[in-house]
Every structure is written in structure tokens, then in C-alpha cells.
Amino acid sequence: MNARLLRFAALGCALLVAAGCGFRLQGHRTLPAVLRVSLIEATDKQSDFVQALRKELLSSGAQLTTQSVDATAVVRVITDNFQRRVLSVSATDQPQEYELTYLVHFSVTAGGKEILADQEVSAVRDLTFDETILLAKNNEEAILRGALAHDLANVVMRRLANL
């Protein structure tokens, strides 16, 4: 009985400490009212970043529209660029390591006014390369590209939530 009471007391203290330090579980961000009906303008609407941003906006309670007259805010994706650069090569001049960079440049307008000026966010990861397992490495690169896009969508959502 005392051991059970002691466990509950320890759990209660841990929860109080976690709440007192400002800890909270990461969840969906609450968006400002101006972003409740949003339009995403992008040249490539099927890019990894745009798709990740769409999912994040929807999960945060925003409605997405395809008509600018219905939108209360427009998220304009100016640049959505993924690059792969060779970092190192072998003695036989074969790539051994790549640097993957995802760069996004965006802005937000609402009611004809710019509420978030042009912003640039980027994420970088390294990828080792082995031509003997080319298919696996191509798959790994695709997974990393999606992860970079998701990370950047989260950064953009944090900036949108702070408007």
C-alpha cells in the first residue's frame, strides 16, 4: 500500500515539475484567425514541401481553398528548391558523400497586406553514398528529402502560429 502511494506521489511530483518548467507536449499549433481559410500559391503544388505544408495547415484547423477570393490569407511559396552537392569522392573519383539542401522562400499576405515578409528557411543533411547499393541509396535520399520538407513545414508553421 505504501509503495503504491509512493509511486503516485512521485508521478504527481514529476508532472508538477514538468508543468512548472513550461513543458508541454508538441501538438498542433493554434493558428491566428486570419489564417483559418488559406490559399497556398506555389509553382509546384506537388512538391514535398507544399504537400507537407498542406498537411500541417489542415491538421492545425485551417481550411484550404483554391480560390483567392475565398482566402483570408495567401501563403506564397516563392522558392522551393532541393539540391544535392558532392561532399567527398573516393580515390577512383566516385562520390562517397552528398550534402542534401532543401531551401524554401515564402511570404504571407492577408487582405492585400503583407503580414509576413519574405522569409527563407533551409535544412541540410548529409548522405553517404555507395554505388553497389544504388537502389537503397536512392530510396534513402527520397526519405531524407521528405524529412527535410517536413522539418521546413514545421518551421513555417511555427512562424505562422506566431503572427
Range of the domain at 139: 30-161
In a domain, 126, yes or no: yes
Residues counted in the chain = 163
So what's the pLDDT on residue 22? 58
In a domain, 52, yes or no: yes
In a domain, 155, yes or no: yes
So what's the pLDDT on residue 155? 95
In a domain, 7, yes or no: no
Domain CATH code at residue 124 = 3.30.160.150
So what's the pLDDT on residue 1? 60
Per-residue pLDDT of the chain (163 residues; tens, 9 = 90+): 677 766 766 666 666 666 666 555 555 667 888 999 999 999 999 999 999 999 999 999 999 999 989 999 999 999 999 999 999 998 888 889 999 999 999 999 998 899 999 999 999 999 998 888 988 989 999 999 999 999 999 999 999 998 8
d(CA 98, CA 130): 11
> Rounded to the nearest 5°, which phi and psi values hold at 71?
-80, 140
Using alpha carbons, select from 41, 34, 92 the residue that is nearest to residue 65: 41
In a domain, 136, yes or no: yes
How many folded domains does the chain comprise? Answer: 1
In a domain, 36, yes or no: yes
